[in-house]
Amino acid sequence: MKQAHFTTVDLVAALAVVTIWGLNFVAMKFALHDFTPFQLGAARFAVAALPLVFFIRPPRLHWKWVVLFGLLQGLGQFGFLFMALKVGMTAALASVLAQTQLFFTAIFSFVLLRERATRALQAGMLLAALGLVCFAMNYLAPHLDSARATTALGFVLSLGAAAMWAGSNIVARKAQQATPQFDALAFVVWSSLVPIVPFIALTLVFDDGAMRWEYLAQWRTVPLRTWFAIAYLGWAATIVGYGLWTNLLKRHAANRVAPFGLGVPVIGLAAGMLVLGEAVTAWQWGGIALVIAALVCVVFGDPYLNKIRGNIYLTNPK
């Protein structure tokens, strides 16, 4: 049963999720000091899945949804994201660009599910497109901003990660339609098993010196900070974050929970600048402002328009 108001516990849980997910990008940067993107992918999902798969029963739905979700959200989203952070993307900007998944989801929903975009979503997509133009200008006209700390490849890979996240949203939606009562936490835990072997295969094929991990001495050289970052990515960001978020969605309407997601890029930006000392250029600030404005438009636009329509109807019911 949906509750009308947030309790203190609910509010603390929502703020905890926003903080955990915002700091997630800084943890990725730390882990990538000692692991390649493919190695980090394998480690992240191994930690997320183990040992929970021994205590949580498999979700009661067709396995194709588990495999598809694991490939898109695990191998696709985080494979692209880890590569972006490695080749040239700051944690601060990655946290903002990740939110464009909302607009990729809208596009995929229209093409695959025939869902029409609302006026607020259309306006938000226009603002987001203008924001992406600002980000692109940072590479098309770099002489206008010499403090550039990212690369065009990192930018494209970040958008690829957002698109993969959107694809996993479509899979989750289709799974929900096929089996409405499936356990979301079990779905996340068991789907985390899917990308582990593909990530290991990719590291064996593409990473130089991958076989050195056969030796225990190599594992001992990894700093404690990196192991903490991996544990944070696997347990805090995945299990705790998604668990709390899913519980909130079960207790409250989605339009009351979703606005808290706007805090993720804010925390990500602040953490990237304060913890990692990352710089943000003028073009990037413009893109950030437009993307956040687009998110605000999508989250609050439809309720606002519906309220206006209701007032107009009450004033002139004919």
Model pLDDT for residues 105-122, shown as the tens digit of each residue: 888 888 887 777 777 778
- Of 145, 128, 24, 135, the residue nearest 82 (C-alpha): 24
pLDDT (0 to 100) of residue 4: 57
* pTM given for the model: 0.84
Regions in the chain scoring below 70 on pLDDT: 1-4, 141-149, 213-217, 250, 253-256, 258, 302-318
Q: What is the pLDDT of residues 245-269, one digit of tens each?
A: 877 776 776 656 767 777 888 899 8
pLDDT (0 to 100) of residue 24: 93
